[in-house]
Structure 1
Amino acid sequence: MFALHQLLLWLAVGLEVTNVFGSPAQLPLQMQQLSTKPRRLHGRFLHITDMHPDPYYAAHRSQSTACHRKKPKKKKDGSGYYGTPYSECDSPFRLTNFTLDYLETNWANEIDFVIWTGDNARHDNDRKLPRTPAEIYDLNRSVAGKMKKIFTKRGIPVIPSLGNNDVWPHNILEPGPNSITNEFSSIWSTFIPFPYLQVFQRGAYYSVEVVPDELAVISLNSMYFYDSNKAVSGCPYVDREDPGNLQFDWLEVQLKMYRQRNMQVWLTGHVPPSPGNYFPECYVRYVELSLRFQDTILGHLYGHMNVDHFFFIEASDLQIVTGDEEKPASHTGLFETLLQDFEALPGSKKADLDEYGVINVAPAVVPNPYLPSFRIFSYNVSATDGRVTADAKKKKDKKKKPKRKHGHRRGKRGDKSTHCKLDEYRNSWLCHLSNEAWNSDANAPSRANQRWTPLGFAQYNVPNLDDADKTHPPRFELEYLTYALNRLHPPTTSAESKTDFVYPIPLKQLPEGLRDGSVNKSKLAPYGLDDLTIGSWVKLGRRLGDEKHAKLRKRFRRFMFAGGKEE
């Protein structure tokens, strides 16, 4: 348990700690014990990530001590009452409680499920107050208790993922079963369907059917792919028992099963899949499975980076690249790197959308280093069942041979028939990819607007966090929308379509100027996307890659860093 000085500190904080740590008893409640009556779908879900509550945070303390101690020499270097934006300090309980209470009041009755992508303990950034496993588990247990109270008791599925700061030491997770996977199987017992508990104890991944027999969310344990985790080998082809390989084997089975059942799937986790985050062999396996099951996967939702952005996984990532690759300069930041990738996208006539997947990375609740944020996604819940039948899928299946030269793996392409005989490549996944057909379909929900297609998201943040105090509480405001403005309201041409219209964002959650549909242009809706299909994201990427769209680039950068500077 916790040391005495920690307990005394929490008691000094007062009622606020009680609100967070006074979670209900851990009941052996399973998803199947909830009401089996069909729920009315709202066509919306919440994505929330990286809360990082800190039991030691105190207002008016020095940022140099992680907002834990000492009065600052200058007022600007002090910690805020509700949190300290653009700093390296974590979240006070005031902020995490305020955020979850706000979601309960304003959104809990408007959404269908919650994707919650990890990091519910503070960073290990104070040498005088090192983290302990007990503290990490208690913080996670308390946040889980609040999520159960707000969402699960309403019958709303919650799908959490393990973050790199939810383990001790941070970034390190050994192959399971182990004490960490066992502890979280208890902490999240309400959220993990009973049939997956044994799988979870082995590897901390599982699946939830958020709409039974129609829509599922797969929560992946990115710790076994993350190249900062030195306790695993990184999915080597020669070690099929590596926990990353075992997870991908399991994922392949899940995707095949859901595809056979004509279901759609969201993939979620904490650390997003990129060449800079994943072990190379893990990254290859993630890309291959994602593209092979593109007609089944609606999208990829992650956190960890604390920066709002999106990027592509591409078929070109599965090529062998020889010679000197084009690598960004060491001083190149994320914004410039993304623009370089967007600039390399082919024109509309040359692009083969079968060869792309879109990774969405959400900003964090913790104001480290930007503003507290969350996202509300909407998706198509039209009564018309647009799912492709199994027979139609067989006709659409195509075995794709990646050809693209653009993307993350730049340089001279190697001939696999030659290079796979070399020691350097012989035992790599690039030389042992599946020969199964790529299941891509221009009429799948990830490619064309139909039932389950993601339509857009609204992002909210707290612009007045700096000024918030006892008498002036913080406020969540709409930061931006991905939608075209005409998608926020029913069409004016048909009375029948108005009756069936599902508002992607409830009118009460829109600023006054957007509620009546009279506005046809707004800085809050710079992207103007009709939906979040792969084609829509590629078009947006192309626009951002074009230097002529300087204003759009500027807004994209401002959204990435919530008005702050790139860290």
Structure 2
Amino acid sequence: MARWLTFELILLLSIFAMTVVLSAPPQVPLQVEVTKPRKLRGRFLQITDLHPDPYYTNHASQSSACHRRKPKKEKQRSNLYGTPFSECDSPLILTNFTLDFLDKHWASELDFVIWTGDNARHDNDRKLPRTPSEIYELNRAVASKMEKTFGSKGIPVIPSLGNNDVWRPNSITSEFSSIWKSFIPFPMYQVFQRGGYFHVEVVPNALAVISLNTMYFYDSNKAVGGCGYTDRDDPGNLQFDWLEVQLTMFRERKMQVSHVPPSPGNYFPECYVRYTELALRFQDTIVGHVYGHMNADHFTFVEAVDLQLVAPSQVSGKAELYKDLIEEFSALPKKAKEVNYDNYGVINVSPPVVPNPYVPTFRVFSYNVSEHGEIQGKKRKHRHDRGKHGDKGSECKAEPYKNSWKCHLNGPWHSDPDSPSRRNQRWTPLGYAQYYLPNLENANKSHKPKFKLEYLTFPLSKLHPDGDTVKQKFDYPVPVHHLPRSLQANNVSTSRYAPYELNDLTIGSWVELARRLGNSKESKLRKRFKKLMYLEY
């Protein structure tokens, strides 16, 4: 899972992807002398949840997680390049094919790579139980492939720990500090060894990415305490303390940052509170939140309302994801003028490479690297919406809130309508293009699968900049040769590839899309959103 903050950007990641190399050479720290900085292209890749499976077998039974037995019915058999809509993980040929495709077609177009996890197969076959040594070997192989594909070209790669990469602190962080040695800056090495989190300045003094170890917040991890207010030495609390220091430091350096996102269904309640409060308190510094893990394409919000004192009986249970999102969006203010954008942080969830349960994907973000429009020397606005205001009265003197972080997070919030998360300027995320790999059932040794554009968040008018801007290749949000032929002309007016037509990925753009989805009259948009969410092709 990953999240992004305003820039100079910090991104926090919690999942990673895996390559197809069965035996990988020992990883050596990258030694590259950079004489001059790489030209910014204004794009970065997010790749997540590769889940390679060295035991995957072509024509095996889906009921065996594609490991054994050739069933009589062809529709129950596995495919060479993967088996969508099943519980089978990625064959090694698929993970290698994906990374080789990115190496050949996209590496030269990117500024950095966000690698948000899960580089080991799911432990869903009792006859082939997953072992720590297997997890480490798969991760070493993927890291070696990522290094060759991107790192060797001077492209920063920022990985994060995934829940299928094991989360118990000591031996895990020690092992991954070796596996990821070429990706972790030397000043961050001891920090990572201690907690499994770190940051990278992908554009020096301008853009940072923070990789968080969200396994310390994950409510399925019984090895941690859940960020309890009275347990200050809990690994989750120590990580939030560290994160607060990093965000404060980047603000003082006039940097904006990005980090890993939470949700009530994934995080311990108190960890979710701390995450939400930091996301909103540093909204002027954070440009966005990007993550994986969920295997479904969607977005959601962390909101100020999540920090209100709500009785436990009033907290809703888990629902089907699409319905839960529509319910959340329907609760947004009905009129645009009633929306206070200070109260929102946007969580973007990318679908995975593994065809479990849908089809393989990757996502390329575009962000503003123009020198124009950046507001210089503007003093940050300070707000005090929390603290001793609102609902922090007598209820905070008794249980269940006496020892809740909700009653003790009193720092001033920092928001600014002119920050990159709120207004299009330098470092503002502009949109993304999502690619997918359909028709895997028809792919074989002689007919390889083809990645195709699934959809864009951009309006069609943004795909072909006018005037002198076209002289700079990165001013195209998506390189023209990566567009289908129907979009390569600059006079296209309608297309199935542009369902949302967002001018940018600022908080306002996402909230307005969510308000449209929350409107029951927008049945066509809802249908399209759901289809994309579950990668139905």
- In which range does the TM-score fall when normalised by the shorter chain? over 0.9
The aligned residue for residue 526 of structure 1 is: 499
The aligned residue for residue 418 of structure 2 is: 443
Aligned counterparts of 2:472 and 2:451: Cα–Cα separation in 1: 30
SS in 2 for 1:416: coil
SS in 1 for 2:366: strand
Contact 1:316-1:402 within 8 A present in 2 as well: no
The aligned residue for residue 400 of structure 1 is: 385
The aligned residue for residue 57 of structure 2 is: 58
Aligned counterparts of 1:143 and 1:382: Cα–Cα separation in 2: 34
Contact 2:386-2:411 within 8 A present in 1 as well: no
The aligned residue for residue 299 of structure 1 is: 288
Aligned counterparts of 1:233 and 1:162: Cα–Cα separation in 2: 18
TM-superposed CA distance for 1:119, in Å, is 0.2
After superposition, the Cα gap between the structure-2 partners of 1:399 and 1:86, relative to the gap in structure 1 and judged at 3 Å, is: same
After superposition, the Cα gap between the structure-2 partners of 1:323 and 1:182, relative to the gap in structure 1 and judged at 3 Å, is: closer
RMSD (Å), alpha carbons: 1.9
Aligned counterparts of 1:288 and 1:388: Cα–Cα separation in 2: 27
TM-superposed CA distance for 1:264, in Å, is 1.9
- Aligned sequence identity (%): 64
Selected match of 1:264 from 252, 256, 271? 256
Question: Aligned residue pairs: how many?
Answer: 518
Aligned counterparts of 1:438 and 1:230: Cα–Cα separation in 2: 32
The aligned residue for residue 465 of structure 2 is: 490
Q: Does 1:423 align with 2:422?
A: no
TM-superposed CA distance for 1:322, in Å, is 2.8
The Cα offsets for residues 75-133 of structure 1, whole Å up to 9 and x where unpaired, read as 11111110000000000001000000000011000000000001000000000110111
The aligned residue for residue 205 of structure 1 is: 197
Selected match of 2:487 from 498, 514, 517? 514
Tell me the amino acid that sits aligned with residue 183 of structure 1: E
The Cα offsets for residues 352-376 of structure 1, whole Å up to 9 and x where unpaired, read as 0001000001000000000000000
SS in 2 for 1:521: coil
The aligned residue for residue 354 of structure 1 is: 342
What pairs with 1:149-164 in structure 2 (closer than 5 Å)?
A: 149-164=148-163
The aligned residue for residue 365 of structure 2 is: 377
Aligned counterparts of 1:72 and 1:499: Cα–Cα separation in 2: 56
Q: Does 1:247 align with 2:247?
A: no
Aligned counterparts of 2:326 and 2:354: Cα–Cα separation in 1: 26
Long gaps (5+) in structure 2: 1-17
SS in 2 for 1:185: helix
Q: Does 1:103 align with 2:90?
A: no
SS in 1 for 2:444: coil
Aligned counterparts of 1:511 and 1:402: Cα–Cα separation in 2: 52
The aligned residue for residue 214 of structure 2 is: 222
The Cα offsets for residues 500-540 of structure 1, whole Å up to 9 and x where unpaired, read as 57000000000001011121111110100000000000000
TM-superposed CA distance for 1:486, in Å, is 0.4
TM-superposed CA distance for 1:418, in Å, is 1.1
TM-superposed CA distance for 1:26, in Å, is 1.4
SS in 2 for 1:238: coil
Contact 2:284-2:414 within 8 A present in 1 as well: yes
| Larger RCO (CA under 8 A, 6+ residues apart) | 2
SS in 2 for 1:349: helix
Aligned counterparts of 2:26 and 2:490: Cα–Cα separation in 1: 46
The aligned residue for residue 5 of structure 1 is: none
TM-superposed CA distance for 1:34, in Å, is 4.6
Tell me the amino acid that sits aligned with residue 549 of structure 1: E
After superposition, the Cα gap between the structure-2 partners of 1:215 and 1:562, relative to the gap in structure 1 and judged at 3 Å, is: same
Contact 2:19-2:142 within 8 A present in 1 as well: no
The Cα offsets for residues 197-216 of structure 1, whole Å up to 9 and x where unpaired, read as 11111110000000000000
TM (normalized to structure 1)? Answer: 0.89
Q: Does 1:557 align with 2:530?
A: yes
After superposition, the Cα gap between the structure-2 partners of 1:474 and 1:381, relative to the gap in structure 1 and judged at 3 Å, is: same
Contact 1:319-1:402 within 8 A present in 2 as well: no
After superposition, the Cα gap between the structure-2 partners of 1:130 and 1:318, relative to the gap in structure 1 and judged at 3 Å, is: same
Aligned counterparts of 1:87 and 1:113: Cα–Cα separation in 2: 32
The aligned residue for residue 324 of structure 2 is: 337
SS in 2 for 1:217: strand
Aligned counterparts of 2:357 and 2:212: Cα–Cα separation in 1: 26
Aligned counterparts of 1:490 and 1:220: Cα–Cα separation in 2: 36
TM-superposed CA distance for 1:257, in Å, is 0.6
Tell me the amino acid that sits aligned with residue 307 of structure 2: L
SS in 2 for 1:426: coil
TM (normalized to structure 2)? Answer: 0.93
The Cα offsets for residues 319-350 of structure 1, whole Å up to 9 and x where unpaired, read as 0013742626x6x4100000000001112111
Could you tell which deviates more after superposition, 247-256 or 317-326? Answer: 317-326
The aligned residue for residue 318 of structure 1 is: 307
SS in 2 for 1:257: helix
SS in 2 for 1:216: strand
Long gaps (5+) in structure 1: 1-16, 168-172, 404-412
Tell me the amino acid that sits aligned with residue 425 of structure 1: Y
The aligned residue for residue 455 of structure 1 is: 430
Tell me the amino acid that sits aligned with residue 365 of structure 2: F
The aligned residue for residue 408 of structure 1 is: none
After superposition, the Cα gap between the structure-2 partners of 1:384 and 1:37, relative to the gap in structure 1 and judged at 3 Å, is: same
TM-superposed CA distance for 1:24, in Å, is 3.8
The Cα offsets for residues 229-276 of structure 1, whole Å up to 9 and x where unpaired, read as 0000100000100000000000000000111111121213xxx41111
The aligned residue for residue 407 of structure 1 is: none
Selected match of 1:432 from 397, 402, 408? 408
The aligned residue for residue 3 of structure 1 is: none
Contact 1:322-1:414 within 8 A present in 2 as well: no
Contact 2:386-2:412 within 8 A present in 1 as well: no
The aligned residue for residue 165 of structure 2 is: 166
SS in 1 for 2:430: strand
Q: Does 1:478 align with 2:453?
A: yes
Aligned counterparts of 1:418 and 1:18: Cα–Cα separation in 2: 55
Aligned counterparts of 2:450 and 2:366: Cα–Cα separation in 1: 22
TM-superposed CA distance for 1:463, in Å, is 1.0
Aligned counterparts of 2:344 and 2:294: Cα–Cα separation in 1: 21
SS in 2 for 1:548: coil
TM-superposed CA distance for 1:499, in Å, is 3.8
TM-superposed CA distance for 1:22, in Å, is 4.2
SS in 2 for 1:235: coil
Contact 1:318-1:402 within 8 A present in 2 as well: no
Aligned counterparts of 2:514 and 2:484: Cα–Cα separation in 1: 27
Q: Does 1:277 align with 2:262?
A: no
Tell me the amino acid that sits aligned with residue 398 of structure 1: R
Aligned counterparts of 2:394 and 2:19: Cα–Cα separation in 1: 64
After superposition, the Cα gap between the structure-2 partners of 1:532 and 1:397, relative to the gap in structure 1 and judged at 3 Å, is: same
TM-superposed CA distance for 1:398, in Å, is 1.8
Q: Does 1:368 align with 2:356?
A: yes
Aligned counterparts of 2:140 and 2:174: Cα–Cα separation in 1: 13
Contact 1:262-1:388 within 8 A present in 2 as well: no
Contact 1:388-1:444 within 8 A present in 2 as well: no
Aligned counterparts of 2:60 and 2:343: Cα–Cα separation in 1: 50
Aligned counterparts of 1:97 and 1:312: Cα–Cα separation in 2: 34
TM-superposed CA distance for 1:397, in Å, is 1.9
Aligned counterparts of 1:19 and 1:62: Cα–Cα separation in 2: 21
